[in-house]
A = this chain, B = another copy of it.
Amino acid sequence: MVQESSKQALGNATFENYVGLEQGFSEMAYQLSAHVLTLGYAVMLAALFYFILTIKSVAPKYRMSSVLSVVVMVSAFLLLFVQRDNWVEAFTFNQDTGLYMLDPNHAGDLFNNGYRYLNWLIDVPMLLFQILFVVSLKTSSFSSVRNQFWFSGTLMILTGYVGQYYEVTNPVAFFTWGAISTVFFVHILILMRKVIKEGQQGVPDQAAKYLGTIWWIFLISWMLYPGAYLMPYLGLFGEAGVVGRHITYTVADVASKVIYGIFLTLTAQVLSKADGYKDVEFDQVEEPAKG
C-alpha cells in the first residue's frame, strides 16, 4: 500500500501525501477537493453574517449563544481558508503523468489536517458552551457542566491531533490515541444528552422539538469526525479516501457549527417569545409577511 521508500521520504505525514507521491490525483479528485475545501470556509463567512444580524431576534439572556456562534464562524473561516491553501500548495499538476502529484522538487509544505484540529481547540468548547446559554438546566450545575465540557473537549482534540500523525507509519499509536480520544468523546455525548433532556422540560412544544432536532444534528455530525479520522483504514487508501475525507469534514463542519447554531437561534427565539420578549427588529418565528 505504501512503499517503504515513501515512508522514509515523507516521515509522519498524512495519507494524502503518500497518495500524492505514489498514485497522484485525477483532475476531478484534485479539483473536487479544492472546491469542497473552499465551500467550507465560504459557508463559515456567510453564516457569520447570519449570526450577527439575527442577534437581536432573541432576548438578551440568550444572546451569548449567538456571540459564541460568531466566535466559531470567525475561527473556522480562517483555519479552513488556510487548510484549502495548504491543499492547493502541496500538490501540483504534472504534465508527464496528467495527474496532480507531490512535486519531488517543490519547495512547499506537505498537506496536513492539523489546522482543523487546532481550530477545534477553539470551536469545540465554544459549541458545547453555547447551548448552556439557551437551555435552563434543572438539576445539573452550569459551571460543573461547562468545566466538564472544556476538560473532555480539549483532551479529545489533543489526543486525536497526536494520533493523526501516525495514520500511515504507526497503526498501533494511531489506534491507541484514537481510542483515548473516543473516551472523552463518549463523555461529551452523555453530557450533551443530559443537557438537552433537562432543557426540554417545561418549555413550549416547539422549543422541545427544536432541542430534539439539535440532539440528532449533534450526534450525527460529531460522529462524522471519528469516521474521517479512520478513513485510511476504511478500505479507502487512495484518492477516494482523500476526497471522501474532505467531503466528510466539510459536511461535519457545516452541520455541527452552522446548522447547530441556527437551530439554537430558532430555539432561543421561541423561548424569547414565551418570556414575553418583544423583538423590535425581527419576528422570524411567526409566518413572515402576515401584515
A residues near B, CB below 8 A? 8-13, 26-28, 30-32, 34-36, 38-39, 41-43, 45-50, 52-56, 60-64, 67, 70-72, 74-75, 78-79, 82, 88, 92-93, 95, 98-100, 103-104, 106-110, 112, 114-115, 117-119, 121-122, 132-136, 142, 165, 271, 275, 279-284, 286-291
Which residue of chain B has its CB nearest to the CB of A72?
B46
Distance in Å: Cβ of A256 to nearest Cβ of chain B: 17
Query: Are the C-beta atoms of A47 and B27 separated by less than 8 Å?
Result: no
Total copies of the chain: 2
Which residue of chain B has its CB nearest to the CB of A114?
B35
Q: Across the interface, which residues of B come within 8 angstroms of A45, CB to CB?
A: 74-75, 78
Distance in Å: Cβ of A279 to nearest Cβ of chain B: 7
- Across the interface, A135 reaches (CB within 8 A) one of B39, B121, B281, B289, namely B289
A31, B27: Cα distance in complex, Å: 25
Distance in Å: Cβ of A51 to nearest Cβ of chain B: 9
**Given A27-B13, A98-B11, are A289 and B109 also a contact pair (CB < 8 Å)?**
no
A10, B96: Cα distance in complex, Å: 9
Query: Are the C-beta atoms of A62 and B289 separated by less than 8 Å?
Result: yes
Q: Across the interface, which residues of B come within 8 angstroms of A12, CB to CB?
A: 26-28
Q: Across the interface, which residues of B come within 8 angstroms of A56, CB to CB?
A: 281
Q: Across the interface, which residues of B come within 8 angstroms of A72, CB to CB?
A: 46
Interface centre among A52, A78, A106 (most CB of B within 10 A): A78
- Across the interface, A142 reaches (CB within 8 A) one of B108, B117, B135, B288, namely B288
Q: Across the interface, which residues of B come within 8 angstroms of A99, CB to CB?
A: 11
**Given A92-B108, A282-B63, are A39 and B134 also a contact pair (CB < 8 Å)?**
no
Q: Across the interface, which residues of B come within 8 angstroms of A50, CB to CB?
A: 67, 70-71
Interface centre among A27, A61, A98, A283 (most CB of B within 10 A): A27
Distance in Å: Cβ of A23 to nearest Cβ of chain B: 14
Listed by A's residue number, 11 A-B pairs whose Cβ atoms lie within 8 Å are A12-B28, A27-B112, A43-B75, A49-B70, A50-B70, A52-B53, A60-B281, A60-B283, A64-B288, A133-B289, A142-B287
**Given A38-B115, A106-B107, are A165 and B28 also a contact pair (CB < 8 Å)?**
yes
Query: Are the C-beta atoms of B39 and A119 separated by less than 8 Å?
Result: yes
Query: Are the C-beta atoms of A49 and B67 separated by less than 8 Å?
Result: yes
Query: Are the C-beta atoms of B110 and A93 separated by less than 8 Å?
Result: yes
Distance in Å: Cβ of A49 to nearest Cβ of chain B: 5
- Across the interface, A60 reaches (CB within 8 A) one of B47, B282, B291, namely B282
Which residue of chain B has its CB nearest to the CB of A134?
B289
Query: Are the C-beta atoms of B288 and A61 separated by less than 8 Å?
Result: yes
Which residue of chain B has its CB nearest to the CB of A203?
B291
Query: Are the C-beta atoms of B27 and A82 separated by less than 8 Å?
Result: no
A286, B136: Cα distance in complex, Å: 13
A136, B291: Cα distance in complex, Å: 7
